[in-house]
Amino acid sequence: MGQLVAQVEAGSAMVPPTGSPADQTTVRRSNLSLVLRYLSTRGPASRAAIAAETGLNKTTVSSLISELQARGLVTETGLQQAGAVGRPGRAISLDGATVGALGLEINVDYIATYGLDLTGRTLIDRRVGFDAMGSDVDRSLRQLSQVMGAALTDLDSAGLRVMGITVAVPGLVNVETGTVLYAPNLGWRNVPVAQRLADTAPTVPIPVSVDNDANLAALAEFTVGVAAGTPDLVYLTGEVGVGGGVISGGRLLRGGDGFAGEVGHLPVDPNGDRCGCGRTGCWETKVGLAALVRMAAPDHAYGRSDSGPVRVPEERLAEIERRQAAGDRRVEQALREIARWLGVGGAILVNLLNPRVIVLGGYFARFRGQLIADAQAELDRLVVAGPDARCLFVASELDFRAAAHGAAHVAVERVLTDPTMVAMLASEPSQPSWRRR
């Protein structure tokens, strides 16, 4: 778990609202969070060591540990190893293996699931092909609900209390209501995803939140990805749509309505192609996965009538990789063209946002070898601040799974920030955790 996220989120949790002092409850909650994060990033430690390194007094630390134990978040694991500061005491360690979170992503041609516990251990990481583009909203949501139910059953069997579910969607999301306002590549408008999932699975009282896929992927990169800890970064989804997630000053940039980062429709070529959004020359028409397939393997392009099973993006990409290996000039040319346009749009992002890193996700990462050098050259040529604002393109290591990763991490992060959201163990009945409120 990246330390910087911890810092940032802990920070925001500690800010009392205007007009209220740094009162007892706030301080208590933030100190619980402090100890829990300490154990989560540094590993097991004695009470004395925790007190010494956090600056909290020992009585306070003991009381905090007792509460975290009661919530099933930490445990005593025997004597701490010799050589530690102070007289040896029992070591306290994170017991997050019983508290978990679930991330889901629905995209044009797949549904991804990612489940993890508080220690960062991955329990579920899978993806199934699903033709969301060719399905209506009802069918897509039924499928999503089934996938969610199966994952919850698995996590429950593994003994996890699931504290939250987050769904990633490639579109504009009202995060407060969990409604997808517009997802052009899914054909969705005003879909109350959180509500609909709750309706289709009334036995699941776990809170469901919904967020933009690129935002969640950016959080995943910032937390566990290739640029973890970089406080200013942009993540680009490389799918049929191209979305952007912006981390600025260590915080996800959302904007007034939560719609920040709509990079796919940056106008980059007034003489370009018509975009799905109805405008002309959007960045997505230059660098999206559909553009690559159209240029490099037109017989496999999206939208063609296509019998047989749904293909996850990797299958289309495998075909392009095969042709590239066979020396197909069209593929080479298409990738060069895409690299150049990545640089053009990237320069807009750098001039406006001044990130240190642009993380290339999805198919961009798959073709890192063909894309990054050319894109970087074009970017460097176009950025106003020149070498003073050097921003590097790097390829994501999370592949097409970044958004689902991020979705699960968001829920985990909430627990680390406010451990009091996990109920005391004693007060809990013995039915499966996700059937309880």
Structure tokens at 106: 């629905």
Which of 1, 2, 32, 34 binds its own copies (CB under 8 A)? It is 34
SS3 97: helix
Answer yes or no whether residue 279 interacts with its own copies by CB under 8 A.
Answer: yes
Least distance in angstroms from the C-beta of 388 to its own copies: 5
Instruction: Give CA 156 to chain center in angstroms.
Output: 23
Among 39, 45, 49, 56, binds its own copies (CB under 8 A): 56
Q: How far is the CB of 318 from its own copies (least distance, A)?
A: 32
The residue (of 19 and 83) whose beta carbon lies closer to its own copies is 19
Residues in region 115-174 near its own copies by CB under 8 A: 172
CB closer to its own copies out of 260 and 339:
260
Find the length of the chain: 437
Q: How far is the CB of 41 from its own copies (least distance, A)?
A: 9
Is 257 a binding residue for its own copies by CB under 8 A? The answer is: yes
Closer residue to its own copies in complex, CB, 115/178: 178
**Is the Cβ of residue 389 or residue 424 nearer to its own copies in the bound state?**
389
Give DSSP secondary structure letters for 165-214: EEEEESSEEETTTTEEEEETTTTEEEE-HHHHHHHH-TT--S-EEEEEHH
First to last CA, the chain: 28
Place of tokens 């020992």: 58
**Residue 88 vs 231, nearer CB to its own copies:** 231
Min separation Cβ 87 and its own copies, Å: 22
| E strands, 18-66, in order | 45-46
Using CA atoms, how far apart are residues 413 and 431, in angstroms rounded to an integer? 25
- Does 63 help bind its own copies (rule: CB under 8 A)? no
**Span of 23-31, 76-84, 291-299, 319-327 interacting with its own copies by CB under 8 A:** 23-31
- For residue 82, give every residue at least 6 positions away whose Cβ sits within 8 Å of its Cβ, in sequence order, or none: 88
Would you call 71 helix, strand, or coil by DSSP? coil
| Burial of residue 325, with CB atoms counted within 10 A of its CB: 0-12 exposed, 13-18 middle, 19 or more buried | exposed
Binding residues for its own copies, rule CB under 8 A, total 75
Q: Which amino acid is at 305?
A: S
Residue 175 sits in the site that holds its own copies (CB under 8 A):
no
Residues 218, 364: Cα–Cα separation, whole Å: 15
Neighbours of 190 (CB within 10 A): 10
Stretch that binds its own copies, among 53-61, 309-317, 410-418, 426-434 (CB under 8 A): 53-61
Phi, psi of 345, rounded to the nearest 5 degrees: -70, -35
Q: Is 298 near its own copies (CB under 8 A)?
A: no
Q: Taking contact as CB under 8 A, which single stretch among the options 80-88, 126-134, 162-170, 253-261 is the one that binds its own copies?
A: 253-261
> Residue for token digits 């996938």?
147
Q: Which two tokens stand for residue 370?
A: 């063909």
- Binding residues for its own copies restricted to 382-421, rule: CB under 8 A: 382, 384-386, 388-389, 391
CB 368 to its own copies: min, Å: 22
Q: Which stretch binds its own copies (CB under 8 A): 67-75, 120-128, 224-232, 360-368?
A: 224-232
Select 260 or 411, whichever has its Cβ closest to its own copies: 260
Among 71, 161, 196, 265, binds its own copies (CB under 8 A): 265
DSSP readout, 321-357?
HHHHHTT-HHHHHHHHHHHHHHHHHHHHHHHHH--SE
Query: How distant, in Å, are the alpha carbons of 7, 60, 70, 260, 321 from that of 257?
Result: 25, 40, 39, 8, 39
Other CB atoms within 10 Å distance of the CB of residue 55 = 7
Measured from the CB atom, the residue of 34 and 147 that comes closer to its own copies is: 34
Among positions 327-386, residues that touch its own copies (CB under 8 A) are 344, 347-349, 351-356, 382, 384-386
Of the two residues 151 and 236, which places its CB atom closer to its own copies in the complex? 236
**Judged by CB under 8 A, which stretch of 50-58, 210-218, 323-331, 371-379 contacts its own copies?**
50-58
Choice between 158 and 277, CB closer to its own copies: 277
